[in-house]
Structure formats: C-alpha cells, structure tokens
Amino acid sequence: MSTERSISAFARARNVIAGGVNSPVRAFRAVGGSPIFMKSGAGARMRSLDDREYLDYVLSWGPLILGHAHPNVVKAITTAAARGSSFGAPTEAESELAELIIAMVPSIERIRFTSSGTEATMSAVRLARGFTKRDAIVKFAGCYHGHGDAFLIAAGSGALTNGVPNSPGVTEGVARDTIVLPYNDAAAVRGAFEADPDRIAAVIVEPYAGNMGLVLPDAGYLQALRELCTKHGALLIFDEVMTGFRVGRGGVQERENVLPDLTTLGKVIGGGLPVGAFGGRADVMDLLSPTGPVYQAGTLSGNPLAMAAGIATLKAIRDDATLFERLEVLTKLLTEGLTAVFDKHGVPHTAAYAGSMFGLFFTAGPVRDLTSAMTADTERYGKYFHGMLDRGIYLAPAQFEAGFVSTAHTTKDIEQTIEAADEVLAEI
C-alpha cells in the first residue's frame, strides 16, 4: 500500500520542523516506520495524503467524540470565524461554555479557560500552591499532565524521596518539589503525607489513567486520595483533560462519586480546537487574578472559535440522553471482541475500557501501575499496529496510549476492526 506522499511530506517537514512533528508521538518512533500525513476527515474516518482511508481510533488523541468534521461543529466554527476570530475582550460564548461544563461536572463551581491541557494543569498547581501556601505536589508515575516542568519528573530511588528530572532542561529545584509515587498505591500517599504533613499543596491524578495505556483505579483508591487530602489540608486535583466528557457527562468524578477540589479539562471541551480549562471550588478559584493574587492569563484564552466548537460539542452531549450508553456499548463490543481474538491466537494481553476509552496491553498483566504496564511487549505491539494500519485501521502509534471511540463509529466498524485484528494476529 503506497505511502509515498506521506514519506516525502515527512522529509520536507524534517527540514523545517524539529523532528518533523509538533508533538513527539506523531513521529511513529515507538512503532517504527514513517508517519501517515492526513489531509481530511469525516465521521469515524480520516483520509491520508496518499488517498487511503483509515478508521480512526485516535480521534486527535481524544477530542473528537463526535467524529471528524461533525456538521454542527463545522457550522459553529465557520459562523464564529465570520464574526471575527479574536477580540482580546470578553465574549458571551465563554460564559455559555462555562455554564455547560458547570452544569455537567459535579465539583466545578467556577472555571477558567486556557488554550491547552498543559496550561490548565500548570495553572491548577500554581493555584493550589497559592491557596495552601505549600510547595510540594504529589504525582503518580505513568500519569501525564502535559509538559509543564513540575510534571516531567521521574520517581526518585526511594518511594518517599523527591523526584528527579526526566527531561534535560527541568531543574533539580523543580524536581525537589515534586513527589512521584506509584499509581494505585494509597499507602504510598499516606506515607508521603506522614513524612512531611505540612509540605504537600496538592495531589494530582488522572482518575482513570489514560497515558500509560488505560489503567483503571482499584476500588477505594480515589476515595482514599480524597480522604488523605482532606485530612492533611492539601487539594485534590483530578486531571480529567482526557476523561472529561469521554467516560461520561460528569467525568470520572461523577462515575466514581469522588469530588476533587480542582479539575483540569481539555480535549473534548474544545471540540477539536485548542482549549483547556481548570475549575473547582469557588473559594479556591476566586484566588486567581484579578480577584485574587495568583496570576494566570492567556492572549487567546477563551478564543471565540474554540468556544464555539466546544459549545457545539457539549450541547450534543447534553442533549443526547443515551450518548454515553451507546458509546460504552460499542467500546465494550470492541474490547471484548479483541480480547476473544487475542485469546484465540494465544497472545498474552490485558484489556480495559471505560465509557468511550479502551486500552489493550501486550502483557498477561494484571496492569495496575507503570511498572506492570512496562511489562508489555512493545515490539509485538509495533507489528500489530502496522498490520492494522495496512488494513486501514488507525490505532495509536505507541503501546502506552488509550484508544477512543466516537459517536460516528458503527457496529460494522467494530466488526471490521475485530476481523482485521484476527488476520493480523495470525501473521505476527
């Protein structure tokens, strides 16, 4: 199958763009080969530069819950664009999107929009530090919170030691204020609080971890984080940039009935345009400038086009009572179908799904944290990925990523995917 045009487009890009891409995973390093350049998308499918069609389970890494180029979203964006792309002054669209979010996400009383998830998490942590007047944060190995310095920290040698930078350019000073613990280990968090009760400003967690593959929390884990934060006067931050409006209208917090103090959002709330947000308790959020002293800003924050795309997307979610039920039925069908063909071919695997997110590790598991996720056979995943790609199925070009289903996917699409997996697994 020809990918000539993509290959030459990548050569061109590499001359002018660092690594040829504007976000590293797009470069296919984890699976080998050359990235497929896309030129258009409609519904569940994308069309490449070489005019091949792909059934898409990446969906721009989560945002496109209604599929590509949904008519309502396209109309909202073009209508907004014709009125002017940015004013640097408030617009009513910002309040409209805020009201939609606040009506659906249980813990959010006030919100502020940013242009990316990265900005949202950075700002939420600054706000938590400003509110508690403490310096340290706790994060979990394998949870991704964007590329802010405070999050690019790996676990130190001892379980309770501070982290170490895991990217050049992140300073030891920053690392000193980030404590990295294993996911799904409430005892480790208890230990960190007991070791230094007045130092931890916040615990930030992906309540369903979707950036090391999909790893779900053990029963009681999120509740334990809630209780520990409350007891020790730290804020609990749920990073729902991926799970927000993906696993249900009210995110993980509604599904699990555990309410954080602050929530970060992104991806779906921008309907495919650059949007992030953080929100939560009014008494905490009111500490932000201009009402309070904690500084946070953005030239294009609350951009009219981005708000329009987000409003169209969240209205579709709000007005469709069975949307998440239907998505979860499809995602379950896919996950169970894949599990059956993996069993049939005797390929060790661990699968999980929640709402419209799914994950499939090439390891017998169980997978509960980063250490167990890392036992996955990434080489075999690479072969599976390319086998599926050749059959027109676009999966994440890396083992440690979640997959996504949209309202544009059909039962027939799922069946086609399972048949393709059956063929591929027979070969690899």
Nearer to ligand PLP, 3 or 264 (CB): 264
Bond preceding residue 207 cis, omega within 30 of 0: no
* 276, 279, 304, 397: residue in contact with ligand PLP (rule CB under 6 A): 276
* 117, 163, 182, 403: residue in contact with ligand PLP (rule CB under 6 A): 117
What is the closest distance, in whole angstroms, from the C-beta atom of residue 364 to ligand PLP in the complex? 26
* 3, 6, 121, 356: residue in contact with ligand PLP (rule CB under 6 A): 121
Give the distance from CA 416 to its chain's centroid: 26
Pairing of β 350-354 and β 393-394: unpaired
Is 263 near ligand PLP (CB under 6 A)? no
| Contact stretch for ligand PLP (CB under 6 A) within 76-84, 110-118, 161-169, 285-293 | 110-118
Reported as type and span, the H/E element at residue 390 is helix 378-390
What is the closest distance, in whole angstroms, from the C-beta atom of residue 325 to ligand PLP in the complex? 24
Is 148 near ligand PLP (CB under 6 A)? no
b/e 203-231 (16+ beta carbons within 10 angstroms → b): bbbbbbbbbbbbbbbeeebbebbbebbee
**CB-based contacts of 117: which residues, under 8 Å, 6+ apart?**
145, 146, 239, 241, 264, 265, 266, 267, 276
What is the closest distance, in whole angstroms, from the C-beta atom of residue 133 to ligand PLP in the complex? 25
3-state class (DSSP) for residue 297 = coil
What is the closest distance, in whole angstroms, from the C-beta atom of residue 114 to ligand PLP in the complex? 9
| Contact stretch for ligand PLP (CB under 6 A) within 203-211, 297-305, 309-317, 392-400 | 203-211
Task: Please give the Cα distance from 56 to 224 (Å, whole number).
Answer: 36
Query: How far lies 167's CA from each of 120, 153, 170, 248, 365, in Å?
Result: 20, 8, 6, 34, 29
Task: Please give the Cα distance from 270 to 246 (Å, whole number).
Answer: 12
Is 266 near ligand PLP (CB under 6 A)? yes
* 45, 145, 249, 255: residue in contact with ligand PLP (rule CB under 6 A): 145
Is 116 near ligand PLP (CB under 6 A)? yes
267 is catalytic: yes
Q: Distance from first CA to last CA of the chain, Å, rounded?
A: 18
What is the closest distance, in whole angstroms, from the C-beta atom of residue 277 to ligand PLP in the complex? 11
Is 6 near ligand PLP (CB under 6 A)? no
Task: Note every long-range contact of 52-56, with CB atoms under 8 Å and residues 24 or more positions apart, other chains counting.
Answer: 52/1, 52/2, 52/3, 52/392, 53/392, 54/389, 54/392, 54/393, 54/394, 55/392, 55/393, 55/394, 55/409, 55/413, 55/416, 55/417, 56/394, 56/406
What is the closest distance, in whole angstroms, from the C-beta atom of residue 174 to ligand PLP in the complex? 17
For the beta carbon of residue 289, count every other beta carbon within 10 angstroms: 11
Among residues 267, 353, 381, 413, which one is catalytic? 267
| Contact stretch for ligand PLP (CB under 6 A) within 114-122, 185-193, 296-304, 319-327 | 114-122
The burial class, CB within 10 Å (0-12 / 13-18 / 19+), for 115 is buried
Is 399 near ligand PLP (CB under 6 A)? no
DSSP-assigned beta bridge partners for residue 181 = 140
Among residues 54, 57, 144, 208, which one is catalytic? 144
Is 177 near ligand PLP (CB under 6 A)? no
| Contact stretch for ligand PLP (CB under 6 A) within 66-74, 130-138, 154-162, 239-247 | 239-247
Is 146 near ligand PLP (CB under 6 A)? yes
144 is catalytic: yes
Among residues 239, 261, 369, 413, which one is catalytic? 239
C-alpha atoms less than 13 angstroms from C-alpha of 243 in its C-beta half-sphere = 30
Is 211 near ligand PLP (CB under 6 A)? yes
Nearer to ligand PLP, 107 or 118 (CB): 118
Residues near ligand PLP (CB under 6 A): 116-118, 121, 144-146, 206, 210-211, 239, 241-242, 266, 276
Which of the residues are catalytic? 144, 239, 267
